[in-house]
């Protein structure tokens, strides 16, 4: 099971990459009542029956990994949300894309910690593939709000695969989190 909410988000974004998404949007909104997360992509999407199977940890199609019978990404999130008394939704249209939303209430001891958002965002922009990535972030406690895209970062530091560029991006994103 994942430790932080950021781990869940990275897992979802990796799914989007593997679904050949060209645009991925991640929004993390930290409010007084809890944490809202949205991960949406324009990847290949799922039919209604595929969507249901994606939520069953023991019903993997084996398409991504031959012989693999399990798929824990989405079930992990659903379980964590249920434990914490939050909400979870997974909507997908075949050929159009997929959107996952979930909410962890702040008054539940079972809500996982958010984790380091700067670290999460830098991991997101260096995921494989050429998908554009739009990252939105708000935090009500101190009014923090910013939005950044992968292409903006790429234009600023050059190739995002380079460890040198990534270190710069990491620094930049950490500074955004300071508000």
Partner 1 sequence: MAKMTLDQLRALRAKKQEELERRNVEGKDIQVIVGMGTCGIAAGAKLTFDAIVAALEKHNIASRVVVRQTGCMGLCYVEPTVEVVMPDMPPVIYGKMTSEFAEELVVKHLVEHSLLDNHIFDRPAVDIVKH
Binding footprint of partner 1 on the chain (CB under 8 A): 1-3, 6-7, 10-11, 14, 18, 64-66, 68, 71-73, 76, 119-120, 122-123, 126-128, 159, 161-164, 166-167, 170
Separation CA 49–CA 88 (nearest Å): 18
Least distance between partner 1 and beta carbon 169 (Å): 9
Q: Is-contact 125 153, C-beta < 8 A?
A: yes
Output 92 or 126, the one with its CB closest to partner 1. 126
Say which residue the tokens 């991006």 belong to.
169
Least distance between partner 1 and beta carbon 50 (Å): 18
In what helix (H) or strand (E) does residue 74 lie, and over which residues does it extend?
helix 73-84
Angle at 174 between CA 173 and CA 178, to 5 degrees: 115
Least distance between partner 1 and beta carbon 93 (Å): 23
Output 22 or 145, the one with its CB closest to partner 1. 22
Output 35 or 124, the one with its CB closest to partner 1. 124
> Residue 98: beta bridge partners?
41, 92
Output 107 or 130, the one with its CB closest to partner 1. 130
Separation CA 13–CA 125 (nearest Å): 10
């Amino acid at each position: 099971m994942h430790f932080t909410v950021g781990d869940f988000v990275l897992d979802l974004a990796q799914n989007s990459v593997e679904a050949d998404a060209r645009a991925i949007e991640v929004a993390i909104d930290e409010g007084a009542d809890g944490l809202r997360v949205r991960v949406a992509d324009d990847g290949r999407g799922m039919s209604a029956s595929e969507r249901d199977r994606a939520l069953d940890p023991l019903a993997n199609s084996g398409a991504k990994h031959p012989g693999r019978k399990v798929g824990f990404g989405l079930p992990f999130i659903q379980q964590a949300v249920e434990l914490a008394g939050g909400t979870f939704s997974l909507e997908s249209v075949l050929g159009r894309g997929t959107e996952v939303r979930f909410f962890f209430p702040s008054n539940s001891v079972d809500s996982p910690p958010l984790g380091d958002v700067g670290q999460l965002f830098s991991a997101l922009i260096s995921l494989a593939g050429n998908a554009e990535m739009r990252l939105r972030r708000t935090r009500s406690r101190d009014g923090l709000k910013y939005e950044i895209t992968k292409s903006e970062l790429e234009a600023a530091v050059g190739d995002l695969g380079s460890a040198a560029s990534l270190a710069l991006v990491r620094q930049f994103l950490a500074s955004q989190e300071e508000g």
